[in-house]
Amino acid sequence: MTVEGTRTDAGLRPSLSDALIARIVELIRADGLGPGDRLPAVRVLAERFAVAQPTMREALRQLQATGAIDIRHGSGMYVMAALDRVVIANPNPPTLGGVQAAQLLDARLLIEPYLAGLAARHRNARSSATLHATLDQAERHLSGDDGLLHNANTTFHLQVAQASGHGILHEVLDSLLSVHAAEQRAILHIFDDRARDHEEHRSVLAAIDAGDEPLAQSLMRQHLEDVADVVHRRLPSLRQSADPKKIDERLER
């Protein structure tokens, strides 16, 4: 199976790169490889597709950047769950500031209430148990480490999205929260009411457990609106600073 013909240098034309990446993905699917399965070595893949090893490495690095594979030095290359994603996060996101934190919440308000409603409609014992375990974990960190609490809260929102069964919107939300993790931590700091945040999460989960789609939508919307209201009220005073760096410093304290 030839992709490159006699070309042996490491430079990649866009068409060559795209074709080689597509063939690697075809190979993964044809061989039935799933998340965690190991790929053949670079040398083996290069011989199979009749390309130079540097060319193959470049294509594999591009797949790694999208999260489709994981290259572990000294161990090998492994298939990742992101292989089948339609929406992916930018692996090199820009540094954003306070205004983007507010816009992030606006975007989430358009997506998450709908997903919470779907989660209630499609509720099942497995997803419910997962959500309860995550909120139990968050509760243990209410008076502790900001990072651990942030991770648990973010996981809860993503698990609600996953429980909705809407794969594309789950990927959109996952990408938003991955790229804007710093803004999410700033939002947690600005809102600064851990107990209230947690109780609102519990209320959303109760509505999901009850299969009450309108209530789950309403409670998720109210939860995000509460947070957005605090952030929007705080941001005008933050924007009064003439120095953008000072705005970001105040957000991240």
User: What confidence tens digit (pLDDT) does each residue in 85-129 have?
Assistant: 544 445 555 554 556 666 777 889 999 999 999 999 999 999 999
Examine the fold and report which residue of 56, 84, 112 is the final residue of a domain before the chain moves on.
84
- CA dist 45 and 126 (Å) reads 39
Are residue 48 and residue 124 in the same domain, yes or no? Answer: no
DSSP 38: B
Could you tell me if residue 104 is inside a domain?
Answer: yes
Q: Does residue 78 sit in the same domain as residue 115?
A: no
Whether pTM exceeds 0.85: no
Q: Which ranges in the chain belong to alpha helices (H)?
A: 14-30, 42-49, 53-65, 98-121, 125-140, 146-164, 167-179, 181-191, 194-209, 213-239, 244-252
Asked if residue 115 belongs to a domain, the reply is: yes
Quick check: is 55 in a domain?
A: yes
Q: Which helix (H) or strand (E) holds 79?
A: strand 76-79
On whether both 49 and 143 belong to a single domain, the answer is no
Does residue 26 share a domain with residue 80? yes
Range of the domain at 173: 98-252
Residue that finishes a domain, picked among 34, 57, 84: 84
183-208 average pLDDT score: 82
Domain membership of residue 93 (yes or no) is no
pLDDT digits (tens, 9 = 90+) for 156-166: 999 999 999 99
Number of domains within the chain: 2
Final residue in a domain of this structure, among 40, 62, 84 = 84
Query: What are the tens digits of pLDDT across the range 20-74?
Result: 888 888 888 888 888 888 999 999 999 998 988 888 888 888 888 777 888 888 8
116 and 219 Cβ atoms separated by less than 8 Å: yes
Is residue 139 one of the residues assigned to a domain? yes
90 part of a folded domain: no
Same domain, 204 and 166: yes
